[in-house]
Structure 1
Amino acid sequence: MDRTPADRPDHPSAAERFNEDQATYAVKGSGAPDLEAGVAAIRNILKTLPARPGVYRMQDSRGDVLYVGKARTLRSRVNSYTQVARLPKRLQRMVAQTRSMTIVTTRTEAEALLLEAQLIKRFRPAYNVLLRDDKSFPFILLREDHPFPRVQKHRGARNVKRGHYYGPFASAGSVTRTLNALQKLFLLRSCSDSFFSNRSRPCLLYQIRRCSAPCVGRIAEADYAELVEDAKAFLAGKSTGVQARLGRQMAEAAEAQDYELAAVYRDRLRALTYIQGSQTVHAEGLGDGDIFALACKAGAMCIQAFFIRGGQNWGHRAFFPAHTNDVPEAEVLSSFLVQFYEDMPPPRRILVDRALADRELLEEALCERSGHKVSIDQPRRGSRARLIEQARRNAEEALERRMAETTSQAKVLRELADTFELPDVPKRIEVYDNSHIMGTNPTGAMIVAGPEGFRKNNYRKFNIKRLETQPGDDFAMMREVLERRFARLEKEDPDRASGEWPDLLIIDGGKGQLSAACEMMENAGVHDIPVIAVSKGPDRTAGRETFHLPGGRELTLPPNSALLFYLQRLRDEAHRFAIGTHRAKRSKSLTTSTLDEVPGIGPNRKRALLMHFGTARAVKGAALDDLERAPGISKAMARQLYDYFHPRG
């Protein structure tokens, strides 16, 4: 077997973690998806497998990853897939589709567990439990690259800006509430450095006692540093000490008859007391910890998470992992945890509502990732058991809501199929809209919806190419967007095996947009995807939409119809996404100029040219002699600039 570097994990941390003792093996097979062919493909590789820890990927005849697993002993684990009678139906289907395997050995089973989580998030295999909602969590960043540190919301990598990161918070709302509390309590600035450096008088935040106005010298640097230390103590859960200090300062100010200052301390003390009393989850004594509880009903599962930092509740969130059919609940929770902490710093303590068979292995892996000890506990009594019970109740309620929404959604989709005579209930609906102002900055947008709701990871935006589309021509814009969309589908998935092909297209527009869409699909040879265009009623009144179908048919729906409300939601979401994309493009265009496109013109030369000529248009129309006289512009650069704007025919 040959070593295959291309099959190694491309995650930087994985590259550091695995050294020269790693190896990759593969075996190829062919034939129809059946158990015999799958077992034969697996047996072919067993002879070469070492009795070492590692990760294996099972792939189908197209090379798509079906499953990623880790093993303490690769040979024994992979051999278990050849004993088909002992496998559950789910894994039997997987073996029947398997035609190749890729193996990566590791030094320890903990390393294999971490690599498994990386590969699951990368390939999203059809037979692994998947953490669906894996978007990044917000943090609070207290910057330390300025004499007067700034407090701000932060998402993404936590090593980009120097400072202290506090989190994760469950949602942007949780961060906003905490930031508001920090501003009320500690009067820290939240403005950008450029805004800070250009102030000549305090802003509104100072007037409403949300900032101490360090930008105009209303507070000394040493006093501001004391506020920063108080904020750090508060975020670290030491609010009792902060409360005592505020009370002492209030009493001292009152004794000195500085009643205005005493009132400021009083207001801050009230804000702190309010925050302490508004916690819906009380976790005194827990310090930093995450709490997880799982609920299961009718094959669906929900995992509720509480985030506790410094004994304070920093929010909670419900997760609904995918591909959980026939998977034991404890195994689902274990797989969820390792994926959840794949790019999230784990706290020192994790509380779960059930025993995990691989608890010690999880602790070892998370300890290796975080650099500190991590314990996973199942409390059975006391305040921590009550926290687990509260998380379990939240999980059950969230699952009930989810199932009710899913049932309602399924009913609406069935009505959609019946009303518009679709061949089947659509599993993937794509909605298209365009946005522009007088033909400028034209953009196209596609949103995706299905039985589970909006699939925001599948949203796409299209920059309309002006050379191909007449400015302001909505029909041509729609045609271009669909041409590019289906050309990509034909290239990437000609067999329609990935589930990325839509079952229904909805176009925001009338007969013209529908005709443009149908013409494009006819030219592309796509004849089996239904298309609906939605136009607003008289005076653009919501509730009086007309639905246009190929062949000139039109439909209207009753004003109180659940299906009408659903289609309006789809149309409005596409419109929102298109408008947002257009605004972002327009904002970017306002800060750029034609000089940005000239090779060799950097920020300094651009600034010098604009200072000398006044506008980019004046630079474009300048004679060669005028360009040569501009400060900082050599004769060669002037010639290059002139030739760029006046190409020789």
Structure 2
Amino acid sequence: MNDGDTRPTGHACIQSYLRTLDNSPGVYRMLDAKQAVLYVGKARNLKKRVSNYANPNGHSPRIDRMIRETASMMFLTTRTETEALLLEQNLIKQLKPKFNVLLRDDKSFPNIIVTGDHPYPMIKKHRGAKTEKGSYYGPFASAGAVNRTLTQLQRVFLLRNCSDSMFETRTRPCLQYQIKRCSAPCVGHVSQDEYRTLVADAERFLQGKSTKVQTQLAAEMEQASADMEFERAAALRDRIRALTQVQAGQGINPQGVAEADVIALHMEGGQACVQVFFIRANQNWGNHDFYPRTGAGAEAAEVMQAFVGQFYATREPPPLVLLSDAIEDADLMAEALTEKAGRKVELAVPQRGEKKDLVSGALRNARESLARTMAETATQAKLLKGLAEAFELPKVPERIEVYDNSHIQGSNAVGGMIVAGPEGFVKSQYRKFNIKGTELTPGDDFGMMKEVMTRRFSRLLKEDPERTSGTWPDLLLIDGGAGQVSAVREIMEEMGVGDIPMVGVAKGIDRDLGKEEFHRTGKPVMALRHNDPVLYFIQRMRDEVHRFAIGAHRAKRAKAVGATPLDDLPGVGAARKRALLTHFGSAKAVARADLKDLKAVEGISGNLAEKIYDYFHERG
């Protein structure tokens, strides 16, 4: 509470809201003296729930701490408790209150799509909204799981994976045909009916009907052999072998569970790991682990409920969700998921049989994953502590930001920032900065770093001037020596953030790995012992930022190399650009063409031809 502020806090503060509440369902927020949200909860009866908090007795240590810090509350009433549950999970993800359980990794999972808008459908990986026409199969646990399955499916079913534009322009089969992963429909090596049969077989496999596909292929192989078509028989044998490999790679395939997510939770030492296995078409399509923040000591039932609510907030639930632990409001959650999916969704904690075995397998994975993570976290904690001691930092850093620039003689310059902390590299926090300064001399690394720092801290000062969000760094590592450190320090002092510790990492004598020199403002140059683990840690961070910055630079350069003057033409999309390039042969020829020739291009109207002509000739 601020000096001079006489408003009550804790139980008294919560008690003061009771007279304004009724028995409606809804969502409540508890806030501290600085108006930061401490906790978001839902209630079937707001007055009854808040009166429980107003009672000073019977709370866990975690809830007691939360009540003591509460200085105000906010309320939103809803029509139903289901609506309150959905709103609660959305607010938790948005506000990230410190006493709530929070799913921190909100990644999307890839699918396989068999496209539906072409006479010869393609099979490919798809991530994101399902807006493209076609049949979707998934989710798969990772891009690697999809890629492995796609490679094998292409060997079995010989479906194309090239873009439509590439398909239309082929005059001879590509490498995929040569290595027996495509039937080359682009050049007529397979008829449309034969290709449709391959597509139907692939879809049957993805729907879990692999036995039928295998039986059919075996029958075809025997027939080909009987007809003395030995080359065709050998090709069918190879496809059967590839299909067997796909099935073997999917691990344990349940017989009695066609479509389900298996979610298992293991908690230890205040940390939690949740394993999710995806079962689709009676096949195991991989698993992924999550490490939710446990809200300063929540119990298993609350952790599981929060995970399920937040996990399916942006994903479609399957008909069956198998859980290792019961959740607090199972019926309510099932109702909410059913409403979201538009069909019945069942939540179950199996006690026996195949479903129990699936949960036990997921639980074993959760336990092993958490053990590995805790060991890695302990090692990381030692490194961060060693880093703080080596550079005499005021505290052990929770967030380290590392910066580097990448360019070729100043062209396509990109600044890169990576983030490291107690859990290692935080890739979701990486940022790239396209260098915009028009007055910079090509190759001016000092100027580039100044621009990056100005943009980074201007944004932080605008978004979080009080430094309460956890996005402010405790240490900056700059790739460079005394000059870079001086240039950056000057900028930071001007912006009023000069209190943030900063270290420049220079290559040192003979630019040898292990002889790095460390530069700090107002302190002598220092080095670390050659075999010091902290030195290896710094080298890893520097290598990671270098990799990230170079990758961003290469992507920018590739985009620039592939760019043409046609990219900026008003009213000219991909199809018209292709028509212009096909007609004239190059972008330069389009720019030189006269109006009559432009009008002759298929798909280019007279009005658009005039706009294209004016665009190039007005520019001189």
Q: Determine if the alignment matches structure 1 residue 92 to structure 2 residue 64.
A: yes
Which residue type is aligned with residue 351 of structure 1? L
Aligned to 1:398: 369
Which residue type is aligned with residue 136 of structure 1? S
Aligned to 1:241: 212
Q: Determine if the alignment matches structure 1 residue 133 to structure 2 residue 132.
A: no
Q: CA deviation at 1:527?
A: 3.0
Q: 1:258 aligns with which of 229, 244, 250?
A: 229
Aligned to 1:346: 317
List gaps (5 residues or longer) in structure 2: 600-605
Q: Determine if the alignment matches structure 1 residue 79 to structure 2 residue 48.
A: no
Q: Determine if the alignment matches structure 1 residue 151 to structure 2 residue 123.
A: yes
1:429-448 superposed matches below 5 A: 429-448=400-419
Specify the SS of the correspondent of 1:67. strand
Specify the SS of the correspondent of 1:36. coil
Q: CA deviation at 1:401?
A: 0.4
Aligned to 2:289: 318
The whole-number CA distance in structure 2 between the counterparts of 1:236 and 1:31 is 66
Specify the SS of the correspondent of 2:8. helix
Q: CA deviation at 1:440?
A: 1.1
Number of residue pairs the alignment of both structures matches: 612
Q: CA deviation at 1:609?
A: 11
Q: CA deviation at 1:402?
A: 0.6
The whole-number CA distance in structure 2 between the counterparts of 1:351 and 1:609 is 55
1:620-631 superposed matches below 5 A: none
1:383-422 superposed matches below 5 A: 383-422=354-393
Specify the SS of the correspondent of 2:125. strand
Q: CA deviation at 1:81?
A: 2.3
The whole-number CA distance in structure 1 between the counterparts of 2:202 and 2:612 is 54
Relative to structure 1, the CA distance from residue 519 to residue 144 in structure 2 (aligned partners, 3 Å threshold; closer, same or farther) is: same
Specify the SS of the correspondent of 1:553. strand
Relative to structure 1, the CA distance from residue 427 to residue 153 in structure 2 (aligned partners, 3 Å threshold; closer, same or farther) is: same
Q: 2:75 aligns with which of 95, 99, 103?
A: 103
Aligned to 1:294: 265
The whole-number CA distance in structure 1 between the counterparts of 2:145 and 2:5 is 49
1:601-640 superposed matches below 5 A: 602=572
The whole-number CA distance in structure 2 between the counterparts of 1:187 and 1:45 is 67
Q: Is the 8 A contact 2:98 2:296 kept in 1?
A: no
C-alpha deviations, 1:557-587, integer Å up to 9, x for none? 3343321221111111111221222222222
Q: 1:280 aligns with which of 239, 247, 251?
A: 251
The whole-number CA distance in structure 2 between the counterparts of 1:455 and 1:34 is 41
Which residue type is aligned with residue 230 of structure 1? D
The whole-number CA distance in structure 1 between the counterparts of 2:276 and 2:253 is 14
C-alpha deviations, 1:67-126, integer Å up to 9, x for none? 222221222223322224333333333334444444333332222222222222222222
Which residue type is aligned with residue 270 of structure 1? R
Aligned to 2:88: 116
Q: Is the 8 A contact 2:8 2:71 kept in 1?
A: no
The whole-number CA distance in structure 2 between the counterparts of 1:69 and 1:289 is 28
Q: CA deviation at 1:282?
A: 3.4
Q: Determine if the alignment matches structure 1 residue 184 to structure 2 residue 155.
A: yes
Q: Determine if the alignment matches structure 1 residue 535 to structure 2 residue 521.
A: no
Q: Percent identity of the aligned residues?
A: 50
1:383-532 superposed matches below 5 A: 383-532=354-503
Which residue type is aligned with residue 405 of structure 2? N
Q: CA deviation at 1:474?
A: 0.3
Relative to structure 1, the CA distance from residue 112 to residue 638 in structure 2 (aligned partners, 3 Å threshold; closer, same or farther) is: closer
Q: CA deviation at 1:58?
A: 3.0
TM value normalised by structure 1: 0.87
Specify the SS of the correspondent of 2:9. helix
> Structure 1 stretch 492-501 or stretch 86-95: which is displaced more?
86-95
Relative to structure 1, the CA distance from residue 590 to residue 59 in structure 2 (aligned partners, 3 Å threshold; closer, same or farther) is: farther
Q: CA deviation at 1:37?
A: 2.6
The whole-number CA distance in structure 1 between the counterparts of 2:379 and 2:398 is 15
Aligned to 2:539: 568
The whole-number CA distance in structure 2 between the counterparts of 1:359 and 1:97 is 30
The whole-number CA distance in structure 2 between the counterparts of 1:32 and 1:132 is 38
The whole-number CA distance in structure 2 between the counterparts of 1:71 and 1:314 is 37
Relative to structure 1, the CA distance from residue 152 to residue 417 in structure 2 (aligned partners, 3 Å threshold; closer, same or farther) is: same
Q: Determine if the alignment matches structure 1 residue 334 to structure 2 residue 320.
A: no
Specify the SS of the correspondent of 1:466. coil
The whole-number CA distance in structure 2 between the counterparts of 1:641 and 1:258 is 61
The whole-number CA distance in structure 1 between the counterparts of 2:104 and 2:563 is 38
Q: CA deviation at 1:522?
A: 2.4
Q: CA deviation at 1:143?
A: 0.9
The whole-number CA distance in structure 2 between the counterparts of 1:644 and 1:54 is 62
Relative to structure 1, the CA distance from residue 30 to residue 518 in structure 2 (aligned partners, 3 Å threshold; closer, same or farther) is: closer
The whole-number CA distance in structure 1 between the counterparts of 2:505 and 2:420 is 16
Aligned to 2:519: 548
Which residue type is aligned with residue 198 of structure 2? L
Q: Determine if the alignment matches structure 1 residue 558 to structure 2 residue 538.
A: no
Which residue type is aligned with residue 251 of structure 1? E
Q: Is the 8 A contact 2:153 2:243 kept in 1?
A: no
Q: Is the 8 A contact 1:595 1:606 kept in 2?
A: no
List gaps (5 residues or longer) in structure 1: 1-28
Q: 1:581 aligns with which of 537, 552, 562?
A: 552
C-alpha deviations, 1:234-257, integer Å up to 9, x for none? 111111111111111111111111
The whole-number CA distance in structure 2 between the counterparts of 1:629 and 1:269 is 54
Aligned to 1:356: 327
Specify the SS of the correspondent of 2:394. coil
Relative to structure 1, the CA distance from residue 367 to residue 176 in structure 2 (aligned partners, 3 Å threshold; closer, same or farther) is: same
Relative to structure 1, the CA distance from residue 143 to residue 541 in structure 2 (aligned partners, 3 Å threshold; closer, same or farther) is: farther
Relative to structure 1, the CA distance from residue 522 to residue 639 in structure 2 (aligned partners, 3 Å threshold; closer, same or farther) is: same
The whole-number CA distance in structure 1 between the counterparts of 2:459 and 2:210 is 55
C-alpha deviations, 1:580-623, integer Å up to 9, x for none? 2222222232344566557x57456998799889766996xx9x
Specify the SS of the correspondent of 1:560. coil
Q: Is the 8 A contact 1:31 1:37 kept in 2?
A: no
- RMSD in angstroms over aligned alpha carbons? 3.1
Q: CA deviation at 1:259?
A: 1.1
C-alpha deviations, 1:525-574, integer Å up to 9, x for none? 33322111112245644333222222362233334332122111111111
Specify the SS of the correspondent of 2:351. coil
Q: Is the 8 A contact 1:250 1:262 kept in 2?
A: yes
> Structure 1 stretch 400-409 or stretch 608-617: which is displaced more?
608-617
Q: Is the 8 A contact 1:33 1:97 kept in 2?
A: no
The whole-number CA distance in structure 1 between the counterparts of 2:404 and 2:377 is 26
> Structure 1 stretch 499-508 or stretch 403-412: which is displaced more?
499-508
Relative to structure 1, the CA distance from residue 609 to residue 288 in structure 2 (aligned partners, 3 Å threshold; closer, same or farther) is: closer
Specify the SS of the correspondent of 2:528. coil
Q: Is the 8 A contact 1:628 1:638 kept in 2?
A: no
Specify the SS of the correspondent of 1:85. coil
Which residue type is aligned with residue 74 of structure 1? L
Q: CA deviation at 1:146?
A: 0.8
> Structure 1 stretch 327-336 or stretch 345-354: which is displaced more?
345-354
Which residue type is aligned with residue 115 of structure 1? L
Q: CA deviation at 1:359?
A: 1.5
Which residue type is aligned with residue 108 of structure 2? S
Which residue type is aligned with residue 325 of structure 1? A
Which residue type is aligned with residue 119 of structure 1? L
Q: Is the 8 A contact 1:510 1:534 kept in 2?
A: yes
Aligned to 1:57: 29
Specify the SS of the correspondent of 2:87. helix
Aligned to 2:603: none
